[in-house]
Structure 1
């Protein structure tokens, strides 16, 4: 029931490389890949030169695992040799999956779900329907599950960041600043479905970074097809859940022009810090009414080293500050023709994976298929390679 991955045959060029791989297998016990245990890619934060496509894998629509429908995969992480995925299904059980994901530098060998865990509320009970909207998941070295919910702003339910154990039990939660919470003033606070979308481990510390998908109402407007001022905040989160410094990133305009009645959005759906103040940002634009799904997804290299700390700015409008800089690294339009039915789906999750045999870092992404509620979509996994 699984779509088989495309195969890219790569011949070894000389005996020296073969010997090197054999020695790796003997001395590193790596059948396919070297183990990855942290977010560091190297000593030079500017060394990522490009990203290349390796392969795609699709889990068929409608597949079940332990009576749960596999879908809505909006976040992915790799920690201690184990893969984690979070589903944004707003109905019980609110859950994360574990998976077996095998690949080498030629492509995927297998992607399959091998475990599911319900995330419980503070009292150890199942969440009520439509009270949480899970989006991002990261796993600490000690196994703690860190996850975000966008809440339900239309119903006055605040977003949150929570810490759970491997059994899904509540441990603690971040103290969210008032500016990120629902506000009865229609001109202040987050917009519905535009809050804590992305989360990553902070490089060189035990903390995290969390990003807004869309601007706060008092900071700017949501992106349109025209150029707008659409700044989002990225906040540092300490290990104990305390918010710290914040910097600003400017969103691109919506890529595709649509009819006046169409739904459009562009926002940052996930982030990765790979060296101090150096990030990869996954930015996704979506417009309804297109047969290829209407998604345009890009990976930006982001430098926040000179960005202003805007934590104490209640509103960004009229303020003077320096934003993080961004440089396009990878546009998924360049590989659309190599993907199933030419579809770049609703890609929302990204994580660094193991080191490939050639020494380059792997990058694995996953798409949220929205449970195909708005038409056929894909549980799409994409394997990329970071080239230094």
Structure 2
């Protein structure tokens, strides 16, 4: 989830209001066509929870059922995910219906606490950054093609006060049974831990997306922004390199690569990678999104989807700082689609294949639980690709 504070920190001039109209593919990217957009009611209630903050989506190709994760740090309700039916066909995007919800459970069978509740609870000794009972910040979710479980990622926390002990909670990718019960976690790469000095993932800019590859034998994740030691975040004059990591299901790193995020558009406030999707051997679709604040607080958004090819890229798993390694060859990418005005798109999954032979992509835009106002609600967007 991208925060208003994060946007304001990178604000320059006006919003993206002058960008192409909503849901219109911006030239020259003509490969994708928009099938439709559906907007969920603001503050939608389901089974005693508020349906919002939807930052990850996946579709089970065996059943056609969708799953979505709520980016709620157990503030409105315990950290959770939803199931849904979404109608996608060659004629467009049909009904979107929430069909169920489950809380994620900790190893001890309880729900994850809010940050306030966790820090207020008594604790014997220092709080370990890898505490499996610590609060979580959910970001993405995937069906496991081999086990039928759901895997989900969360960004952790980095709070380093001027005085007192820091709060350092590692990001993670965890496994859950269909009923939400804890089933394990993926081992982090060596440079994936949050530490107190200027190393590791930035605050609220950790593992934003992940995907299964090679039929489920590999797990590929991507950071939203550069590691602290890898240099500054993208600006209007320059892009940045974020780390894309390929691991086995057991956590072994088979390769880590530098993915080049493009520079900000004129006046955008913040940008980063929000989703990744396997697209074939060594190929992925990567979603970059921008949010900008204009005069009067109006918001504009832009989404770019690229095909990324790992072949020929430098393995940077043992490179401490990308800022000090100009010899690194980053991942090659080419544009697939560009959209403006569709909202804060956070999640992406393959939808059904159409009678036309096209593949569909289903995106979800995060309403941030109303923090951005009524102009950026929860949306489901469907695209068709050749």
Shift of 1:203: 3.1
Q: Distance in 1 between matches of 2:292 and 2:371?
A: 16
2:71 maps to 88
Match runs of 1:8-23 below 5 Å: none
Say yes or no: does 1:219 pair with 2:224: no
Find 1:189's aligned residue among 200, 208, 212.
Answer: 200
Say yes or no: does 1:132 pair with 2:122: no
Equivalent pair of 2:78/2:112 in contact (CA under 8 Å): yes
| Greater RCO structure (CA 8 Å; 6+ sep) | 2
Match runs of 1:1-388 below 5 Å: 50-79=31-60, 80=62, 81-91=64-74, 92-130=77-115, 131-141=135-145, 142-154=147-159, 155-185=167-197, 187-228=198-239, 230-257=240-267, 264-289=269-294, 293-319=299-325, 320-333=327-340, 343-376=341-374, 377-387=376-386
Gapped regions of structure 1 (runs ≥ 5): 1-47, 259-263, 334-342
SS in 2 for 1:156: strand
SS in 2 for 1:321: coil
Q: Distance in 2 between matches of 1:361 and 1:204?
A: 18
Q: Distance in 2 between matches of 1:371 and 1:179?
A: 31
Shift of 1:143: 1.2
Shift of 1:253: 1.3
Q: Distance in 2 between matches of 1:103 and 1:225?
A: 37
Equivalent pair of 1:174/1:243 in contact (CA under 8 Å): no
Deviations 1:238-273 (A, max 9, x none): 122333311111111122316xxxxx2211100111
Q: Distance in 2 between matches of 1:58 and 1:249?
A: 31
Q: Distance in 2 between matches of 1:326 and 1:178?
A: 26
Normalising by the residue count of structure 1, what TM-score does the alignment of the two structures yield?
Answer: 0.80
Q: Distance in 2 between matches of 1:374 and 1:367?
A: 12
Equivalent pair of 2:156/2:169 in contact (CA under 8 Å): yes
CA 1:159–1:275: 2 relative to 1, 3 Å? same
Shift of 1:204: 4.2
Q: Distance in 1 between matches of 2:93 and 2:149?
A: 28
Shift of 1:294: 2.1
Normalising by the residue count of structure 2, what TM-score does the alignment of the two structures yield?
Answer: 0.80
2:24 maps to none
SS in 2 for 1:283: strand
Q: Distance in 2 between matches of 1:244 and 1:149?
A: 22
Shift of 1:292: 5.7
Number of equivalent positions? 324
